[in-house]
Amino acid sequence: MTPIICLMGPTASGKTGLAVELAKRLDGEVVSVDSALVYRGMDIGTAKPTAEEQQGIPHHLLDIIDPIESYSVSAFRDDAMALIADIIARGKQPILAGGTMLYFRGLLSDMAELPAAQPELRARLEARGEHEGWAVLHAELARLDPEAAAGVHPNNRQRVVRALEVCLSTGRPMSALWRDKTPMLPAGEVAPEFPWPVVQLAVRPEERAVLHGRIEQRFDLMLAQGFEQEVRALFERGDLDVNHTSIRCVGYRQMWEYIAQNISWDDMRAQGLAATRQLAKRQLTWLRGWRNLTSFDTLSPNLTTDVLKCLEKHF
């Protein structure tokens, strides 16, 4: 059975480049495990891989929601499970890469049972949305499952349909099904019911100073690439503020405060760097307690080769 590869690590550790190299060697596709890369129009500040950086390798779970929407661990797991099954069915290698450690943990250990897709019901709901308007379907979801509706924008057709599909096929709100889940296993433990073998890898610099240097270099590159203009476009929409999850992403909140004239440019840069270093520290804390993990040094001259050798015994 095809194992899935989970590639994790702190921000600015080189996960994206390594995932692409592995995908090229293993005929794989990349599933993003990153809570910031899901947002459309948030490219520079999230270090979203460009088309050039993707090198023709299919990448999934990028640009799937508007910044005004929310995206949960349960939504990620639902989407990732469907994508993994599809990638394997097409004879490709799934490579899950990112730094949102709670997503990895929720995927591997949180075995809340949601019903399988109901194609006929889904088709009827999609047809209703096109005919009656998606606001009508969202209102119906708000009546059946207020908690789920609160976290889904009316324009997010996929999530509105999925939540309604679950409600109508089970007679229970999807939010209630998720509350019924058993507690997640310790980080790195894989639930016995998980459908595929799992290989868990991490990439990170051995020296903290090296990681901090990479963070600073990347942040300054973002500024040079037009990060201010990207956040200004979000600011000028008029429907977003610092309470939205998207704007709380590292770097975005600090640039938002600069654009709002609450802090200076120098303070924005200093606070943005500090917030990014804190994110990396949290990610490294996760990794220190992660079970069943094989780690590699970002700066290894033979990084891709070393990882491929490690994977040989799993294939």
Binding-site residue set for substrate: 11-16
Residue stretches of the annotated binding site for ATP: 9-16
Q: Estimate the crossing angle of helix 227-235 against helix 252-259, to 10 degrees.
A: 70
Long-range Cβ contacts of 87-91 (<8 Å, 24+ apart):
87/28, 87/29, 87/31, 88/2, 88/196, 91/27
Contact 153, 68 (CB under 8 A): yes
> DSSP per residue over 114-150, as a string?
-PPP-HHHHHHHHHHHHHH-HHHHHHHHHHH-HHHHH
Alpha-carbon Rg for the chain in angstroms: 20
Q: How does DSSP classify residue 75? A: H
> Which positions make up the binding site?
9-16
CA gap 166, 169 in Å, rounded: 5
